[in-house]
Chains A and B, each alone.
Chain A
Amino acid sequence: MYGGGYIFDEPNGKQLREEQQHDEPEKLAAFEERIARGEKIEPGDWMPVEYRRQLIRLIEQHAHSEVIGALPEGTWITRAPGFKRKLALIAKVQDEIGHGQLLYNAAETLGKSREAMINDMLSGKSKYSNVFNYPAETWADVTVIGFLIDAAAIVNQVANAKGSYGPYCRALERICYEESFHLKQGHDAFIELAAGTPAQRDMVQDALNRWWQPIMHFFGPPDKSSQHSEKLMQWKVKMASNDEMRNQFLESYVPKIWELGLTLPDPNLRKNADTGRWEYSDPDWDEFFRVINGGGPCNEERLRVRKWAEEQGRWVRKALMNPGQKRAMPVA
């Protein structure tokens, strides 16, 4: 789900030496045995080049997603209805930024610097979760994000927390604990609208209609079109296929939407009683790739806001590095 886009070549622009490009067969075999036994891989351990590259890509893009994901919700802090909702939203947005920090730390243990990751995000080279390229138009959108996007993220993160890379698992354990609060407060706000006045119900139905496709996109393209995920599954980088996670999400959450008398904009969405699996219309995957590659309604705004924050925060970061220095130069 945090995939797509480029694969990082080598931390900090260094080129790999010839002998580093190929994994030694004995070491690779020992590594794969460790993973098969359920052992965790730690930062200093030997690991295949491709394992390191894929993990950096995955964890880094997960980190960017947490930070960018706070933007559409942060928008609503000043306009959240009521004091408790405002406090909860501030807490949630702070958590998301904290999750970004935890994940950047985990990715840094693989040798890519924090600065290099941020630069790759700002230049558009490194991606983040596609759902955050859509706008949160009304308060109902915030409840849909808090309920369903966080629910989808939990499905993914609970799976990844059983992966093979120790630092990523430890970060996810902490993240999942906090996400359970996000989901609950989102569900609560969602139900409040769904059980409210006709105008409130219309608002939440409208938000659902607009967010359903991005949510179906969330877990990534269908298994039949995704390549080389077999190795990543064996290495426990990827813990479940995209379709598997999408099905798990539908199984848990579609009934929670339907029980409130709300509808979803897909006439083919239903659970097949024979197979026990959910069936649905294929979401528009061309749209998915168009948005990932910069064509979504908010891609440009998100990056411009992040660049503004980096640029405006620079003098603070620099000043804190030299606390003894009162002025950069004589003022008169």
Chain B
Amino acid sequence: MSNDSLDPRVNRLKLGAAGEVIKVEEGENWNVYEVFHQDKRGAHHEHVGCVHAPDPLLALVFAKEQFARRKKCVNLWVVKSADILAFDVEDEDMFANNLEKTYRDASGFKVMEKINKFKQSK
């Protein structure tokens, strides 16, 4: 069946018939890898998104195409999403900050007050 497209490339393809059923199988689009981007040496790698890839090496190649096309990048990490361990979001309350933790904080120690008091008592 000849195509009648404005696109010369499309006219060179052997396209299937209209309405043909094409189905992609589950898993055909590979695994998901999380991507971490470092914009200058010495900086942290920051999570920027993910790519689908069949293995870690290709994940790096795709990550370079996807996340390092423009802005500065000196290095990338990829890690399989399934290998990331995270807390359950339902447990968020365990991070609630106890306001009585001033003993862990620089602001919890009033040195000047004591020095001034000492000097005045002289």
Query: A: which residues have CB within 8 A of B?
Result: 12, 42, 44-45, 71, 74-75, 78, 94-95, 98, 101-102, 105, 108, 113-116, 118-119, 122-123, 135-137, 170-171, 174, 178, 300-301, 304-305, 307-308, 310-311, 314, 317-318, 320-321, 323
The interface residues of chain A lying within 8 Å CB-to-CB of B8 are: 78
Given A75-B7, A94-B69, do A310 and B22 touch, yes or no (CB 8 Å)? yes
List B contacts of A105 (CB < 8 A): 32, 49-50
Residues of A within 8 A of B66 (CB): 98, 101-102
Contact A320–B9 (Cβ < 8 Å): no
Interchain CB contact under 8 A, B15 and A44: no
Please tell me if the beta carbons of A304 and B16 are within 8 angstroms of each other in the complex. yes
- In the assembled complex, B18 has its CB within 8 A of some CB on chain A: yes
Question: A101-B66, A308-B15, A317-B30 in contact; A115/B24 too (CB < 8 A)?
Answer: yes
B99 part of interface (Cβ distance < 8 Å): no
Q: Which residues from chain B contact A101 at a C-beta distance below 8 Å?
A: 51-52, 66
Count contacts between A and B, CB distance < 8 Å: 93
Shortest CB-to-CB span from B37 to chain A, Å, is 11
- Chain A residues, Cβ within 8 Å of B30: 317, 320-321
Cβ < 8 Å to A, chain B residues 104-118: none
Alpha-carbon distance A116/B28, docked complex (angstroms)? 11
**B54 contacts which chain A residues (CB < 8 A)?**
317, 320-321, 323
Decide yes or no whether B73 CB sits under 8 A from chain A.
no
A191, B90: Cα distance in complex, Å: 54
Q: How far is the CB of A299 from chain B (nearest CB, A)?
A: 10
| CB pair B49 A171 closer than 8 Å | yes
Tell whether, in the assembled complex, residue A137 and residue B49 are in contact, meaning their CB atoms are under 8 Å apart: no
**Residues of chain A with a CB closer than 8 A to B69's CB:** 94-95, 98
A105 to B48 CA separation, bound complex (whole angstroms):
12
Can you add 6 more A-B contacts, CB < 8 Å, to A98-B65, A102-B49, A301-B3? A75-B9, A98-B66, A115-B25, A174-B49, A178-B70, A321-B54
Nearest CB of B to A316, in Å: 10
What B residues does A174 contact at CB under 8 A?
A: 49
B10 touches A305 (CB 8 A): yes
In the assembled complex, the Cα of A75 lies from the Cα of B8 at a distance in Å of: 8
Residues of B within 8 A of A95 (CB): 69
Contact assessment for A311 and B22 in the assembled complex, using a CB-CB cutoff below 8 Å: yes
Residues of chain B contacted by A116 (CB below 8 angstroms): 26
Interface residues of B in 1-36 (CB under 8 A from A): 3, 5-10, 13-16, 18, 20-30, 32
What distance in Å separates the Cβ of A278 from its nearest Cβ neighbour in chain B? Answer: 32
**Alpha-carbon gap, A173 to B21, bound state (A):** 35
Q: How far is the CA of A135 from the CA of B24 in the complex (A)?
A: 27
In the complex the two chains form, what is the Cα distance from A174 to B66 in whole Å? 11
CA distance A183 to B24 in the complex (A): 34
A108 / chain B contacts, CB cutoff of 8 Å:
32
Q: Which residues of chain B are near A113, meaning CB under 8 Å?
A: 26, 29
The one of B5, B21, B29, B49 that contacts A114, using a Cβ cutoff of 8 Å:
B29
A75 to chain B, nearest CB (A): 4
**Chain A nearest CB: distance from B14 CB in Å?**
8
- For the complex of A and B, 7 pairs with smallest distance between CB atoms: A75-B7, A44-B89, A320-B54, A307-B22, A114-B29, A304-B15, A115-B24
Known: A78-B8, A94-B69, A304-B15. A317 touches B49 (CB 8 A): no
Is B22 a contact partner of A300 (Cβ separation < 8 A)? no
Complex contacts, B58 vs chain A, CB 8 Å = 320
User: Do residues A114 and B52 form an inter-chain contact, with CB atoms below 8 A?
Assistant: yes
Q: Is the CB of B29 within 8 A of A317?
A: yes
Which residues of chain B come closer than 8 Å to A136, judged between CB atoms? 6
CB pair A75–B6 under 8 Å, yes or no, is: yes
For the complex, give the distance between the alpha carbons of A44 and B29 in Å: 23
Q: For residue B90, which residues in chain A have a CB less than 8 angstroms away from its CB?
A: 44
Q: How far is the CA of A311 from the CA of B13 in the complex (A)?
A: 12
